Amino acid sequence: MEKKNIEEELEYIKKVNQIMQAKGKKYHILTMGCQLNENDSEKICGMAEEMGYTKTENINEADLVILNTCCVRENAEDRLFGKLGEIKKLKEEKGTIVAIGGCMMQEKHIVEKLHKSYPFTDIIFGTHTLHKFPSDIYQTLVKKSKIEDVLDIDGEIIEGLPIIRDDKYKASVTIMNGCNNFCSYCIVPYVRGRERSRDPKDILDEIKALAKEGYKEVTLLGQNVNSYKGNGNLGIDRFSDLLRAVNQIEGIERIRFISPHPKDFTDDVIEAIRDCKKICKIIHLPLQSGSSNVLKAMNRKYTKEQYMELIEKMKKQIPGVVFSTDIIVGFPGETEQDFEDTLDVVSKVQFEQVFMFIYSRRVGTPGDKMENQIPEEIKHKRFERLKQLADSQVQKNNEKYIGTIQKVLVEGKSKNNSQMLTGRIDTNKVVIFQGKDEMIGKIINLKIVSEHMWYLKGEI
């Protein structure tokens, strides 16, 4: 994969900085999507701040409003249009610059709708042109022109963008962009392009720099991380090689990754998880459906049996491993029996966490053209049934922690109670406890004393 030289973009950062000097302009950003989208927002913040903007949580005092959109489900899209109604007033009152980026901007029908119904939008940028944000801002400030900067082709790999991270002790690192799988319900391959893996050296350098800054935990991000393909640099070709290399980095104490695809979960990846002490022994393994028929229609390329075999194999080889998952209910053609197969897998695996979604038709995907769509009412009923089962398991799983000693990365003061500290255990559950401020940013041992569905309580 060719890397792009971004010197030109960095020049635009300087240019904007010069014309903005000492003007105290503020920006507000709203991130609407997944962790990849969040990681993109961290880069947008990096660029905005180098241009001279400072961040504000209050949209009303912003001179620049940035919306980083998601289109994976309908409700994500609705959020944008709701927000734009509100922003229209701001634009009229104080001429706020409105920039909209992210996955949704890669959809032609959405961009058309913006032109028609929200013509006050100043900048539209896509997933492949994120790095051009500074030049987009420059054109808007200087030429006062409307910018549409969306590319249909797969973007290059961009290295060296400034970044302002949301957290101080845990960080996300994108290892690959795009997806080649075309699951029949999913819009992501159309808006993120084909798989492009970063150079292993760039990834490791980024993580080493994070460790130096005091970061303790990294999450490796990609739409399909276990199909990562290194270029052989530093001897790294496969995802498992990358995991082993990250495990060697001094200072990093915890490694997570999302999302792997069950079809690419090869033995070398399982062995790397088993061998590497720092890899958290909770694996997010998206199931989507427990029915082999539905999985086939979804183009997932595994059966219920293969999924269960993979879980069993991992349980055997990786002591203490647990799982979380994603499930879609109401995919076209899903029968009562199919849905019960999903419930069956959920009750057998005992997931630590289940992310549940009601199937949402996405324009341009094969699923949208299928004739046997499930009525909304049935979808919602099934969702409720799945939720009940999953919630009861979460509670059961939580009880298992009571009385155990857990390693906790202390993240800071609890938002709801400033007397308490908050952190996460290996399996990513939140723990609240009474402790001293100097524990923040460290990994400490806590005894779990009670469970409260969404969090555990601990004692030193």
- Diameter of the chain by CA atoms? 65
# chain residues binding ligand SF4, by CB under 6 A: 10
- CB of residue 135 vs ligand SF4: minimum separation in angstroms? 29
Site for ligand SF4 contains 328 (CB under 6 A) = no
By CB under 6 A, name the one of 172, 224, 226, 414 that touches ligand SF4: 224
Site for ligand SAH contains 328 (CB under 6 A) = yes
Residue 71, binding choice from ligand F3S, ligand SF4, ligand SAH, none, Cβ under 5 to 8 Å by partner class:
ligand F3S
Positions in 339-398 near ligand SAH (CB under 6 A)? 357, 359-360, 362
- CB of residue 79 vs ligand SAH: minimum separation in angstroms? 15
Per-residue interface string for the shown chain with ligand F3S, residues 16-35, x marking contact by CB under 6 A: -----------------xx-
Token pair, residue 365, equals 């995907």
By CB under 6 A, name the one of 3, 8, 94, 182 that touches ligand SF4: 182
Query: What torsion, rounded to 10 degrees, do the Cα atoms 157, 163, 165, 168 define?
Result: 110
Residue corresponding to tokens 């997806």: 179
Token pair, residue 19, equals 């014309």
Site for ligand F3S contains 192 (CB under 6 A) = yes
By CB under 6 A, name the one of 47, 186, 210, 221 that touches ligand SF4: 186
Nearer to ligand F3S, 192 or 284 (CB): 192
Q: Is 282 in contact with 324 (CB distance < 8 Å)? A: yes
User: Residue 243 CB: number of other CB atoms within 10 A?
Assistant: 25
Give 394-401 contacts, CB < 8 A, sequence gap 24+. Answer: 394/352, 394/353, 394/354, 394/453, 395/451, 395/453, 396/350, 397/322, 397/350, 397/352, 398/429, 398/451, 398/453, 398/456, 399/451, 401/425, 401/429, 401/448, 401/451, 401/456
# chain residues binding ligand F3S, by CB under 6 A: 12
Residue 70, binding choice from ligand F3S, ligand SF4, ligand SAH, none, Cβ under 5 to 8 Å by partner class:
ligand F3S
**Which of these segments, 45-53, 92-100, 134-142, 184-192, binds ligand SAH (CB under 6 A)?**
184-192
Beta strands in 294-383 (DSSP E): 322-329, 353-358
Burial class (CB in 10 A: 0-12, 13-18, 19+), 357: middle
Measured in whole angstroms, how far is the alpha carbon of residue 346 from the centre of its chain?
Answer: 23
By CB under 6 A, name the one of 223, 240, 324, 422 that touches ligand SAH: 223
- Which residues have C-beta within 8 Å of that of residue 205, sequence separation ≥ 6? none
Residue 103, binding choice from ligand F3S, ligand SAH, ligand SF4, none, Cβ under 5 to 8 Å by partner class:
ligand F3S
Nearer to ligand F3S, 105 or 243 (CB): 105
Positions in 103-142 near ligand F3S (CB under 6 A)? 103
What backbone torsions phi and psi does residue 51 show, to the nearest 5 degrees?
-75, -15
Closest of 431, 424, 428 to residue 409, by C-alpha: 424
By CB under 6 A, name the one of 29, 62, 71, 123 that touches ligand F3S: 71
Cα–Cα dist 100/118, whole Å: 11
Residue 189, binding choice from ligand SF4, ligand SAH, ligand F3S, none, Cβ under 5 to 8 Å by partner class:
ligand SF4
Q: Is 183 in contact with 298 (CB distance < 8 Å)? A: yes
Nearer to ligand SAH, 56 or 266 (CB): 266
Per CB under 6 A, residues contacting ligand SF4 are 179, 181-183, 186, 188-189, 223-224, 261
